[in-house]
Amino acid sequence: MDADSLPDHFFASVVREEVWAIDNESYRLLEERRESGFAVCRSRDGIPHLVAGDRLPVLDPESHRLIGVDPAELLRMLEDTVGLDEAALLKILERFAASTPLRARVIRRARYVSNGRIDDAQSTTCLVVTATGPGFRRSIVCTEDEIEAHLHLFANQTPDAPSAVSDLRNLPILWSGGSASILFHEALGHPAERGLMPAGLPTWLRVSDRPSGTALGSMAFDDCGVASSERHLSSGERPGCFRRESFRSVPLRRMSNLHAEIIADSNPIELPDQFIAVRLIGEGGYDTLHDRISMSVTLAELVEGERSTPIAPFEIGGSREQVLRSIIAGEGPPITYPGVLCAEDGQRIPVGSEAPLLLSKPWAIP
């Protein structure tokens, strides 16, 4: 399906967003936002036209047909879905804020796409938890169910990490904890959204966009009401889902859950005497004009034999093909990484992330 052939559909969403400051003794609400609205999309001469509003207008018969359910009942259900108490979640976060205060953005979203069944409305919760200190800023994106599994990335990490080693260019990189999924997000996912073919990925790896994945929630259908399906990005396929941040947003072809897996015999990982173990990525980007990848590593260690030393955040980057060709070994099943709140094209959309343990050759450092 192309963007100029999106089906006629009705879309509704309710969003509740809160920002909390948390330390080991208390928490307080800093910001709160609520948004609800509806959009009707109709194709005219093959071009989709979007009419959106923050209140349900007096709809014509065609719009009523697209809704498929009673509008008042739909709105009540969506608002009830996002109206949950945050107390239990904040108590969990409070336990991890003993040494470094945290800031948590809680985004609860309920959405409905016209299909005549109100029980098919889907809800998701996305948490963005950030710790900031002298010389560092770490952030993770995950669901409520995954929060305790990922918060160890903030625990027992000293904010005064030593300076980065003098020459990172000569050190191989071990992508641990599923962090290689962010590499693929930038080097395969965003190019695939634009219809660019992959180049340089080892044949023993397969990278897919998997809407049925559970990393940040399963999507049975996309934000245009079209049934979702898995697409193999490493084979040149494009993500199949059209997604949007809110009812005001135009649906765009975007990733859902990025899943990387080993599908054939790979080179076993033989750790060198000295390497960098990457645990957490801060931000990443894909420069379409220059076909280059850039990422900021916010949590990593220099490993020398049995000794492991935290290193300061650093930037890393290279051409898209160089990035993919740098992967030389891998092993194990996919590991769930905290995830990404991707702001591509001005729309913040959560994307799940999973990848096995991978080893790459040294990269170019900008």
Residue 339: which H helix or E strand, with range?
Answer: strand 327-342
Residue 204 CA to residue 201 CA, distance in Å, equals: 8
Say yes or no to pLDDT of 287 above 80: yes
pLDDT of residue 163: 57
Mean pLDDT, residues 4-22 taken together: 87
Task: Please give the C-alpha separations between residue 207 and each of 192, 198, 218, 363, in angstroms, as whole numbers.
Answer: 11, 10, 17, 21
pTM: predicted TM-score of the whole model, two decimal places: 0.90
Six token digits for residue 112: 């409905």
Mean pLDDT, residues 53-81 taken together: 74
pLDDT of residue 65: 74
Task: Please give the C-alpha separations between residue 26 and each of 71, 79, 156, 317, in angstroms, as whole numbers.
Answer: 40, 28, 20, 40
Strand ranges (E), 78-221? 102-113, 122-133, 136-142, 173-175, 205-209
Say yes or no to pLDDT of 192 above 90: yes
Six token digits for residue 86: 């945050």
Local confidence band at 366 (pLDDT 50, 70, 90 cut-offs): very low
Helix, strand, coil percentages in the chain from 3-state DSSP, rounded to 5: 20, 45, 35
